[in-house]
Amino acid sequence: MQTSAFPLAGLKVIEFTHMVMGPAVGVILADLGAEVVKVEPIGGDQTRDLLGSGAGYFPMFNRNKRSICLDLKSAEGLDVARRLLADADILIENFRPGTLAKLGLSYESLKQDNPRLIYCSAKGFLAGPYEQRTALDEVTQMMGGLAYMTGPPGRPLRAGSSVIDITGGMFGVIGILAALERRHTTGEGGEVRCSLYETTAFLVGQHMAQASVTGQAARPMPVRISAWAIYDVFDTALADEQLFVGVVSDTQWTAFCSAFGLEALGGDPRFAKNNQRVLSRDEILPQIRALFGAMSRADLIARLETIGLPFAPIMRPEDLFDDAHLNAGGLIDLTLPDGRTTKLPGLPVELDGERLSLRRDIPGIGADSDAVLAELGYAASAIAELRASGGVA
């Protein structure tokens, strides 16, 4: 895709973020074509050095960005930040409430010089009694009911991804795009806030609604009563090759029974309708488990795909590197800080039949400092002085 064809080409974004939620906002905007300058502290964002489950945060959420390192506690570094923001379209930040305000970079301060600025704050909570609390993805999954719904009874379990950080960032992007559209009419920017806790509540809203509709609290997913009789993970002939299969309509039930030689089940009037089958799960499922347990996963997939039923082999994240479908355009080639190459998922969007291609690799620490400063009008001698002062690196 040509650079000019990216929908957000021409927008300037200044990002003061770390970890996942804020960078997720930035990478979505960057993938859509915005020019994103990531402001890192001297020495680089500490997210770059996380171990364990955090080791993938920086590579995943910081492509298509430029990096400049500033000491915002120094007059020189703060002056550069203000010059960056003087004509910026969007600011993103996800530090503790009040952190940027203490530096003189609040929305109220910045909008005086740049009334078109859209200021996005990614926080733990929106306005209310919890507003000043420190939050993390896992914190809000626990207090928002998602961990309760994910694990078995008595064993709350966080989802196996930073799902709240990422979806919270997505809501931040939605708010930014809404503010951009409003700016087309009013000429003025605005303040957008997205949050972890309210995002979690939105995601479990379906379970809250279930309680309202049925009068009964939703049970955790591992022990829930499914809306369909066949909607589960099944063992196949090889123990490590499990398969999820769903039969979610009466038409699918008929096709399923026909394809697998289950004429007795398919012709039984007791199982003709979905709700009848749900109430008869204890009679139906043992027969299906026995059938699938004698077949290979490959044979099952071939037959299920032919009749158009929903299915999914149970895979691990590392298996996706070799996934044929993702390798048809869903993975982006990137270079890790140590020089090794990898492939990571791109934005799951097509525009006019095209994927959003990579424009910039993962930036090194302060890799673009000199170029960004030069674009702001700093002469080479002034850049050298800034470096010598410690305000820029």
Inter-residue contact 194 to 137 (CB < 8 Å): no
Nearest-CA neighbor of 50 among 95, 18, 85, 11?
18
Which residues are paired to 276 by β-bridges?
none
Antiparallel, parallel or unpaired: β 311-313 and 243-247: antiparallel
Among 71, 137, 165, 368, which one carries the catalytic annotation?
A: 165
Q: CA 22 to CA 125: how far, in whole Å?
A: 14
DSSP string, 305-347: HHHT--EEE---GGGGGG-TTGGGTTEEEEE-TTS-EEEEE--
- Please report the sign of the dihedral spanned by the C-alpha atoms of residue 300, residue 329, residue 25, residue 94: positive
**Strand, coil or helix: 289:** helix
| E strands in 70-117 | 90-93
Q: CA 241 to CA 49: how far, in whole Å?
A: 35
Burial class (CB in 10 A: 0-12, 13-18, 19+), 30: buried
Q: CA 116 to CA 182: how far, in whole Å?
A: 11
With b for 16 or more beta-carbon neighbours within 10 A and e for fewer, the 236-275 pattern comes to beeeeebbebbbbeeebbebbbeebebeebbebeebeebe
Q: Is 282 a catalytic residue?
A: no
**Strand, coil or helix: 249:** coil
Which amino acid, residue 286? P
Q: Locate tokens 């820029």: which residue?
A: 392
Q: Tell me the catalytic residues.
A: 165
